[in-house]
Amino acid sequence: MSRASSPAIFVYAHLDDAGRGVLRSALTGVRVVFADKHRDGAAHQEYLHRFRESDVCFGNVPADWLPQASRLRWLQLESVGFEYYQHVPNLPPGLVTTNLKGLFDTPAAETAMAGLLALYRGVDELVPAQVERRWVSLDVRPRMQLLHGRRVVILGHGSIGRKLRQLLEAFACRVQSFARTTAGAELRTAPELDAALPDADIVACCLPNTPATRGLFDRRRLALLAPGAVFVNIGRGLVVDEPALVETLQQRRIGGAVLDVTYEEPVPPDHPLWSCPRTLLLQHTGGGYDGELPAKARAFVANFARFEAGAPLHHVVNLSQGY
């Protein structure tokens, strides 16, 4: 079947064969150009050229490409975060941008649970001991703790925060969520958050990087945490004051940290976070799972059907404002 009037699609998203297969079988007859980002610099210029001729783009292209895409009507990002595009001047008029909200809820929430349970149940000590074939059972056991019944403050009440909350509640945790505008959160204001922090066993950040969230968990708030508290970040690194967090961990003023996200990614080899006590660096793997790339492709295909039908697209984001 040929679709003579179909838009030209430029696919810059990171996909595997399964993901490309999803697109090829769903978009028969549509003009699709796949970028291979592993190719050299010459290809970069070729892809920019193809991008400028496209009506639709799927994938996180370099931000400075956007003003050059005069034909572009829809940009489907392959991420939830879109902070890299928030300060681009001269966007194509009428461009609609969408993200993959919802696609990473379960993997991100499971990674937060994996990190918390690893710290509480001694997996962070038992795995290195196994590498060295050391039996450390009696050393580790007195330091083990339960997740059961913990008091938790979750920063952010979006889809990841809500999913994490549901999992924690299955472990009988008593959860309060902080969100200034999203309905359903118990903690609505900065003073309410500050009042809850000293009683929290766990603070879990699920916030995006926006002007309103950047630096929200600052040195003053870190100092409000109880001695045994665990700080989790599966949102964005810039939400917490990272130098203050490093000091807090190095001085063992809190119980530990589970960090999927950081200021710099990759974390530089000489960075102090690698060796902070009781700190797990999860290297921004939180959204990953084996079916991730085909799922991204299916999400694009579903939104493309709406695009062709003239229906409102799912998960529109506003590049000119925070979200």
Rank residues 6 and 250 by Cβ distance to a second copy and give the closer one: 250
Nearest to 59 by CA among 87, 40, 79, 78: 78
Rank residues 146 and 190 by Cβ distance to a second copy and give the closer one: 146
Nearest to 258 by CA among 224, 283, 292, 238: 283
CB of 156 to a second copy, least distance (A): 20
Rank residues 153 and 295 by Cβ distance to a second copy and give the closer one: 295
Q: Provide the residue count of the chain.
A: 323
DSSP 3-state of 275: helix
Judged by CB under 8 A, the stretch of 49-57, 175-183, 281-289, 296-304 that binds a second copy is 281-289
Tokens of 132: 């060295």
Q: How far is CA 36 from CA 13, 41, 132, in A?
A: 9, 11, 41
Among the listed residues 284, 294, 303, 317, the single contact to a second copy using CB under 8 A: 284
Q: Are 248 and 254 in contact (CB under 8 A)?
A: yes
Q: Is 142 in the site for a second copy (CB under 8 A)?
A: yes
- Is 38 a catalytic site residue? no
Which residues inside 143-172 make contact with a second copy, applying CB under 8 A? 143-148, 166-167, 169-171
Q: How far is CA 20 from CA 12, 13, 44, 198, 296, in A?
A: 11, 10, 20, 49, 10
Give the whole-angstrom CA distance, residue 57 versus residue 29: 17
Among the listed residues 20, 26, 50, 106, the single contact to a second copy using CB under 8 A: 106
Judged by CB under 8 A, the stretch of 25-33, 35-43, 135-143, 307-315 that binds a second copy is 135-143
Q: How far is CA 136 from CA 14, 114, 151, in A?
A: 42, 21, 29
Q: Is 246 in the site for a second copy (CB under 8 A)?
A: no
Among the listed residues 124, 186, 247, 308, the single contact to a second copy using CB under 8 A: 124
Give the whole-angstrom CA distance, residue 102 versus residue 303: 13
CB of 310 to a second copy, least distance (A): 34
Among the listed residues 69, 229, 240, 282, the single contact to a second copy using CB under 8 A: 282
**Which listed residue (87, 148, 284, 315) is catalytic?**
284
Q: Which segments of 197-273 does DSSP mark as H helices, in order?
A: 219-223, 242-250
Among the listed residues 285, 311, 318, 321, the single contact to a second copy using CB under 8 A: 285
DSSP 3-state of 9: strand
Give the whole-angstrom CA distance, residue 236 versus residue 258: 13
Judged by CB under 8 A, the stretch of 22-30, 102-110, 207-215, 306-314 that binds a second copy is 102-110
CB of 166 to a second copy, least distance (A): 7
Give the whole-angstrom CA distance, residue 153 versus residue 216: 14
Q: Is 60 in the site for a second copy (CB under 8 A)?
A: no
- The strand pairing partners of 256, in sequence order, are 230
CB of 139 to a second copy, least distance (A): 10
Rank residues 87 and 148 by Cβ distance to a second copy and give the closer one: 148
Nearest to 148 by CA among 125, 173, 184, 167: 173
Active-site residue list: 284
**For binding to a second copy (CB under 8 A), which residues are involved?**
16, 106-107, 110-111, 113-115, 117-118, 120-124, 126-131, 133, 135-137, 140-148, 166-167, 169-171, 265-267, 269, 274-275, 280-285, 288-292
